[in-house]
Structure 1
């Protein structure tokens, strides 16, 4: 074992500093999927695995991190945390050890936040832009970096949450004293005040009244109010009288046209957010993926309506619905519109994260979907296996009928397992115990020409016994074993989230906060209106790229560089103080022990 590695493991800062100054260094392990000659030539995998683990233990030591990454140990912790999780996922033999090291590194980053004594120090820490991939303007880019690295304990720390809360509500401290009923009714008030808000944002965005109305929490209520209007239009359109409708776009329907405007404005909002965040961060948020799918369905539905309108010019416009082809664009549009409407209403779940009581349950719901995804793997394998077996067994009996020679009663073979599609449908509903018990019956055809019954036809009892046995095995495996396993897994997930509900909920709530802080736009569909701020922003971009304003651009860049340099210097000074406080605190804890 190298001296530097041993000193780092023992937490001897002076020894680590001495050895590093003498030229000693720790060789960082190669990436897990490295295919270099050194990695390929490695023959003693046991010794190599132990050596890598010990090296990462030394690299994860707070002493080594503070000495080698003194300028920004927090960012070093974020990156090392992800590296440890990646290494653990690749080397599953040591996954528990690497996960423990990742937790240790995560806690060290939190301990530096704990040593911040004032809100100004927290602001200096969060203003650092190193490692932030967000392209837009945001006062606390380090918070975005922590969100990207999924540092839930760091984001959920009380100091950061208090600072974030102050930005969220601004000077509107009266909001916390409102009753629950008044808070629930406030979106209706924002809807009534929306014309004034829009007028101020378009014509006078720099006034104090306009800035007050554009607080993130009030922007959230504006968006919620207009989204409720959008849902009301969807409800009206979904329950409109269909007896008078014709193929094609219902351009005479006012709700239909307003919904199109809302869809366009929401698409513009998502495109702007995608340009600001970049593809990796944008699609890393599953709610953005959800919105993208929803808007795509709405768009395709409207395009299908347009195609149906063009076809109506060539075909009879009054053609009755029962004569339409199953893939008629009108039917496709209606189906996609129905699915998109369901997704639009489900979008309200996004705001449930803001509530202290409902938020953890919404987080648990998302985690449980991961459990269901794992369960779906077993479900697919079992369904395919029994579908092939039962379909092969019952397919020769399709459409067979047996006539009782005494009573003349005709019994027809059930369609439950005669085809692959029917078998899959029967087994799927069998999971919920909705398949009839007569489904596995075997009917051997006995009817002959002339309507008489063939008395020599045998009953295939063995085939029926095998069918009942397979169906019973499927029911036992799925209903008793797999469903209970899924319920137990979901219960464990819910309990795990409940035990860590503070950090899980605060992390989810911070995502909602950031979504409304990053875009300072009017709520859809009013974000399509030109504003003074938007016009000035476009003009500045046009002027900045013109040859006549190169000097102005250089001066602006120099000013920005000076601000960044000032913030970097403040951050470096703060990191030195936080590291000193950390070691003093650890020394006090060790003495007390």
Structure 2
């Protein structure tokens, strides 16, 4: 109740601001520093505190949102007044120029073009364009583009010089050109995460689940790189010892070969990297609420999984692992009643087993799944109502 009163009082203060300068003074107030002067770089200390304390009404106030919009689109005058086609062209133009913006920002950050990269919306577009380029490189590596190029143009002398057709299937193969580019992007992403961790601190960094996902993704890429190095030196050692195992067919590789493990970790890292698009599209007024709903639904799904595991354990008989697998796949209709036709089974035992399986199916399919749907629908409705009111 006290938290709600504090939120209402702070929100009411915003209603009494008569100019943008008063709003800037209110949002940039720092009790330990000098008073804010018009034209200074806005730190938005009060707004950051409101976000940290989850004061949603304060953050969603129209005056605050109008100020944030003006800050967000700074450097692109008239952008919001353009129609959708012109806005899309402007975004594409900035996105295509992101390598030039990035190089100028690194080499000459104090020039007018370098300062352009400090504008929030332009910075967001450049970061998004860079990340989309990274995803494209991941797709090329996953599709083994070297082999595809040779299939398209044939094994010409030029391609033989620059492209090895077996580079992605040979044990201990060195990185291809695409993989070298991915390596450069991965090091950049790791540096970005280290810098963010240094700036905000460990507690605030871990509080954001997207940072945790980024950490897991980078850890998977680092593990992939380490395993590829191990596989390379392992094969080089076999060549020096003349064991004749460096060109084994893939089906004859050891099950725990570092190259195979590296490929599995790389595939998992690709999935996490693609999920980051959900975070990028959260700025969209239509997709943003869906992303918030998804995060709420994840909590509901975790609650459901706990209940589901309890149900699985309660109905598991005999070998716990094998029975749990059977009950899990039964939820998707992949287990039929012919599985109860066992040799030497008595009618009563068969009937009792089918009765227990039927009871499980009713509890799982009718009760638990509908409970999950209701919980997810409730979470979506909460977010939908909040987004409409904003």
Give TM-score, length-normalised by structure 2: 0.85
Q: Within 5 Å, which residues of 2 pair with 1:43-192? A: 100-129=1-30, 139-192=43-96
Find the aligned partners of 1:129 and 1:441 in 2 and give their Cα distance: 75
Shift of 1:247: 1.6
1:382 paired residue number? 311
1:250 paired residue number? 174
Pair 1:465-2:365 in alignment: no
1:366 paired residue number? 295
Q: Find 1:233's aligned residue among 137, 150, 162.
A: 137
Shift of 1:121: 1.5
2:200 paired residue number? 277
Give TM-score, length-normalised by structure 1: 0.57
Shift of 1:421: 3.2
Is the contact made by 1:230 and 1:262 (CA closer than 8 Å) also made in structure 2?
A: yes
- Give deviations 1:400-442, integer Å, cap 9, x for gaps: xxxxxxxxxxxxxxxxxxx433322221121222223322332
Pair 1:355-2:279 in alignment: no
Pair 1:501-2:390 in alignment: no
Is the contact made by 2:96 and 2:129 (CA closer than 8 Å) also made in structure 1?
A: no
Distance 1:309 1:363, change over 3 A: same
1:211 paired residue number? 115
Partner SS for 2:339: coil
Distance 1:300 1:131, change over 3 A: farther
Q: Within 5 Å, which residues of 2 pair with 1:475-494? A: 475-494=361-380
- Give deviations 1:173-195, integer Å, cap 9, x for gaps: 32112333343444432243234
Is the contact made by 1:308 and 1:329 (CA closer than 8 Å) also made in structure 2?
A: yes
Find the aligned partners of 2:253 and 2:387 in 1 and give their Cα distance: 53
Shift of 1:250: 3.1
- Give deviations 1:52-73, integer Å, cap 9, x for gaps: xxxxxxxxxxxxxxxxxxxxxx
Q: CA RMSD in A?
A: 2.3
Moved over 4 A (4+): none
1:509 paired residue number? none
2:266 paired residue number? 337
User: Which stretch of structure 1 is more off in the superposition, 242-251 or 288-297?
Assistant: 242-251
- Give deviations 1:265-320, integer Å, cap 9, x for gaps: 00100110111011111111111111111111111111111122222234411122
Is the contact made by 2:281 and 2:288 (CA closer than 8 Å) also made in structure 1?
A: yes
Distance 1:474 1:325, change over 3 A: farther
Matched residues, number: 357
Shift of 1:102: 3.0
Is the contact made by 2:105 and 2:113 (CA closer than 8 Å) also made in structure 1?
A: no
Distance 1:307 1:219, change over 3 A: same
Greater RCO (CA < 8 Å, at least 6 residues apart): 1
1:513 paired residue number? none
Structure 2 unaligned regions, length at least 5 = 34-40, 149-164, 239-244
1:439 paired residue number? 339
Partner SS for 1:177: coil
Shift of 1:340: 0.8
Structure 1 unaligned regions, length at least 5 = 1-99, 393-418, 445-458, 507-593
Shift of 1:249: 4.4
2:157 paired residue number? none
1:49 paired residue number? none
Q: Find 2:326's aligned residue among 407, 426, 447.
A: 426
Find the aligned partners of 1:422 and 1:471 in 2 and give their Cα distance: 15
Q: Within 5 Å, which residues of 2 pair with 1:316-331? A: 316-331=245-260
Q: Which has the larger radius of gyration?
A: 1
Find the aligned partners of 1:373 and 1:309 in 2 and give their Cα distance: 41
Is the contact made by 2:102 and 2:117 (CA closer than 8 Å) also made in structure 1?
A: no
Is the contact made by 2:98 and 2:130 (CA closer than 8 Å) also made in structure 1?
A: no
- Give deviations 1:460-516, integer Å, cap 9, x for gaps: 22222222122111111110000001101111111111111157xx7xxxxxxxxxx
Distance 1:212 1:348, change over 3 A: same
Find the aligned partners of 2:170 and 2:141 in 1 and give their Cα distance: 15
Is the contact made by 1:148 and 1:281 (CA closer than 8 Å) also made in structure 2?
A: no
Distance 1:130 1:152, change over 3 A: farther
Shift of 1:109: 1.9
Shift of 1:131: 9.6
